Amino acid sequence: MPNFIETYHCRTGTVNPNSYPVSSVDELYKCLEQATEAHDSGALLDIRVRTNFLNELHEQIVARKEDLYNLYERETSLSRSRFETEFERTLNQLRLYRDAASALEQERTESVLTDRIITKKPLPVGPVAVFGASNFPLAYSTLGGDVMGAFAAGCPVIVKGHPFHAGTSLLSSEIIRGTLSKLNLHPGIFGHVLDDGHRIGQALVQDERIKGCGFTGSFEGGMALYRIAQNRKEPIPFFAEMGSLNPVVILPNTENLNSHLHALVDSITTDAGQFCTKPGIIFCPSALIEETIQTMNARFNQAPTQPMLHPTIQQRYEMRLNEIQSTNAGEFYLKIDQEFSVPHGFMHTLNRELNHFETLSHEVFGPFCLLVEYDDIKRLESTLSALKGQLTTTIIGKNPEQSTLFNLACNIAGRVILSGVPTGVAVIPEMHHGGPYPASSDSRFTAVGEASILRFVRYVSVQKSHGT
């Protein structure tokens, strides 16, 4: 008998009525076999087939909007407004990749030499594995950017759905499969598996039929799968987005400090701080520290209550807070809301303490940040460099691009924010969502925006002699 996955409604503290069977290895192998057949048959090679598929899928997602919301809300406890934002982002991504597919089709160059003609064209890499994220049940999961980018490139996709929102993932899978059936397309273009552990995911990445992988999640999980992908007999590209501290630097010349601090605290607490770009560490000059502590403490106390996505996520969050508290490296300003018992707030510490306690430089996934006091820019530069790769780095102050920290921020992060907040990743061609290791496994490619289609293509040159 198969094991079953249960999901939770964290606003009510109850288990949802439906449970979902864990996929068997035989089911995984069937998905892999069909995906290989779809790729070998060239099921998505024709750009007209790809764009028509994505257009129809767009329509089917819109038609099932309310069904998606009902499961989404029950399994995540996220608000209707958050759903609307993520739903529109999901559709926007799909449209962006559809247009990127058409642009990619035109990307065929030709050089006429004295003795031959050489053309170059992009081809899909083959079947791709995608791991759904816990915190974005739509935009980073079964209907998310990695999946749509792979489809746009012409690749079959097998999704390993996230167990925390298994029902939403399965409904999304049903929508994709229904679209394929309606268009009489090869069923192997899409496959879906579920697991509440690591067995199926590891087997998926190990299988030689998989030619690429997209992952969004923890550093530990991402690196475990990355090593599997690289240690295969035939290594494959593995694109992992693994989180970030997203450091924020407040410069001594900052004006309108309270306004910036309010925006930062709101960024930290929105949806219980469960964003990969949430500010995790704020560096503040000593001259502004007292005002900053008072303002941030007041704003955290005003933050609306919000449950976390799953009891397991809250347990991990509270464990990280306990680890930080055990260092005795600073003063805590924490509030535990009465409705959902989620602690939110910050710890004030000194810049030198970061070098003494490694745990302080690890991501905390939740509504918490470190407030680090600094009194010397040069020492701050050393601290930022020691933090290594980040998804984002923010500099707040007057003319921040002229700061001595600006070039350093560009070196350590995939996106640099000037006098703003890092949350709210725009799905546009100019976006780069990624960063140097350990924020991501390959800083050259973005996980958001139309350029991510390039992760799932390879190029072929065709040479022919004149007259042939």
Does residue 144 contact residue 192 with C-beta atoms inside 8 Å? no
Does the pLDDT of residue 1 top 60, yes or no? no
| Each residue's pLDDT tens digit, 15-26 | 999 999 999 999
Confidence at residue 243, expressed as pLDDT on a 0 to 100 scale? 85
Mean pLDDT value of segment 170-199: 97
Read off the pTM. 0.94
Does residue 45 contact residue 124 with C-beta atoms inside 8 Å? yes
Set 31, 155, 276, 369: catalytic member: 276
What is the token pair recorded at 301? Answer: 């106390």
Give ∠ CA 118-120-125 in degrees, rounded to 5: 145
Confidence at residue 2, expressed as pLDDT on a 0 to 100 scale? 58
Domain 247-418 has CATH 3.40.309.10: yes
Kind of pairing between the strands at 212-216 and 190-194:
unpaired
The segment(s) of the chain belonging to CATH 3.40.605.10 are 4-242+442-465
Torsion of CA 55, 188, 171, 128, to 10 degrees: -80
Set 73, 75, 86, 241: catalytic member: 241
Q: Is 241 a catalytic residue?
A: yes
Collapsing DSSP to helix, strand or coil, 277 comes out as coil
State what percent of residues in the chain have pLDDT above 70.
100
What is the token pair recorded at 250? Answer: 């407040």
What is the token pair recorded at 427? Answer: 């799905």
Fold of 4-242+442-465: Aldehyde Dehydrogenase; Chain A, domain 1 (3.40.605)
Phi-psi region at 341: left, alpha or beta (left = phi > 0; alpha = psi -120 to 50): left
Confidence at residue 400, expressed as pLDDT on a 0 to 100 scale? 94
The secondary structure of 230-274 as a DSSP string is HHSSS---EEEE-----EEEE-TT-SSHHHHHHHHHHHHHGGGG-
The segment(s) of the chain belonging to CATH 3.40.309.10 are 247-418
Kind of pairing between the strands at 128-131 and 116-124:
unpaired
Mean pLDDT of the chain: 94
